[in-house]
Amino acid sequence: MPLLKRYKKLQELNLTNSKGQTIRRWVTQKLEKTRKPFPILLGEPLTPILLNWLEKIPEENAYLFPSPYRENRPLSRFWAYRQIRELDKKVNPELREKLGLSKPLIVNGKLVSDKLHLWLHWFRSQRACCLVSEFNFQLHELLDYFDWQSVEVATRYGKRGWRGLAEKMLQTQIRYA
């Protein structure tokens, strides 16, 4: 799947605006590359839905998520973002509660929003957490699977949370006399 709207920084410029303030800008080069393939097990819960979607694609070389706005182009990040935001508005309260989206969003101890929302990063985080809890992925395996460059990203997305840690403790079956 082509990664569009990706840029490589070639040079950093420090410019001065009309008010005398220094502004950083970059000279960039647009890149188009492909993602590496990654496995999806047939036994995973969403696999039947994905297979059903794939069966409906008419051509072998067609895009997995074609753009409804431009012929022979993939769905852009902008339109994917808009669809996720629309989906967030339609999530019913029961499902929002089940997904853990009813809790407030707190960053650095400050309330940002009274509830969490569906974001593209939320889906990535869910997959990373699934790989950690269901398949015992370690940080280096998350880096490889997602093609991430830093351990900090893998740490942020692959957290088990207190429930996951409690579950791991229960799985050890240690008994004290």
pLDDT at residue 124, as a whole number: 83
Asked whether the CA dihedral 5, 74, 68, 123 is positive or negative, the reply is negative
Q: Is residue 124 part of a domain?
A: yes
pLDDT of residue 36: 65
Kindly report the number of other CB atoms within 10 A of residue 127's CB atom: 18
**How far is 149 from 25, CA to CA, in rounded Å?**
23
Q: Is residue 135 part of a domain?
A: yes
What ranges make up the beta strands (E) of the chain? 2-16, 22-34, 105-107, 110-113
Q: Is residue 56 part of a domain?
A: no
Instruction: Note the pLDDT of residue 176.
Output: 61
pLDDT at 1: 40
| Number of domains making up the chain | 1
Provide the domain limits for residue 133. Answer: 119-160
Residue 5 main-chain phi, psi, to 5 deg: 60, 35
Q: What is the mean pLDDT of each run of 10 residues along the chain (177 residues)?
A: 62 90 88 69 85 83 76 78 86 86 82 80 83 87 88 84 76 65
What is the predicted pLDDT for the residue at 2?
A: 47
Question: Strand 22-34 and strand 105-107: pairing?
Answer: unpaired
